[in-house]
Structure 1
């Protein structure tokens, strides 16, 4: 069974005064939490259409309306492992 996760990204203003970057060279939404971008999960929906309806509603709300094109719908499969191996933490 597929579900649709709806995310919103609020992009932080760069400290060097450069313009806020919302998308990469391919036009895909980008974010960097280490740079202060905030990612919010708005909900998990049974259809992509329901997630799209939620976007229309959220665009009128404070905060979300400031970045109306920074929503992302991600399809996910229920009961499927997404991270199947361990991980390593780099220390800088």
Structure 2
């Protein structure tokens, strides 16, 4: 797979690193996902991450049911990290 050329795409400052990143990069996609999850009310976020127990419906399985427990643990740590970064501002 060829390297992606982001030279002609807008840049934004990463809240995680403070560096400029392309709005078409995986880093930006990840930051947007984490910011979206952080903005959710806690109860809704937990259902979104963990899903509804016993369901087979993809919509109700949550991120854990689609991506697995490790992905949810990583997202939770990133949500906490972004929350702490924003509190320091």
> Larger strand proportion, structure 1 or 2?
1
Shorter-chain TM band: under 0.3
The normalised TM-score by structure 1 is 0.27
Q: Which has the higher contact order (CA 8 A, sep 6+)?
A: 1
> Larger helix proportion, structure 1 or 2?
2
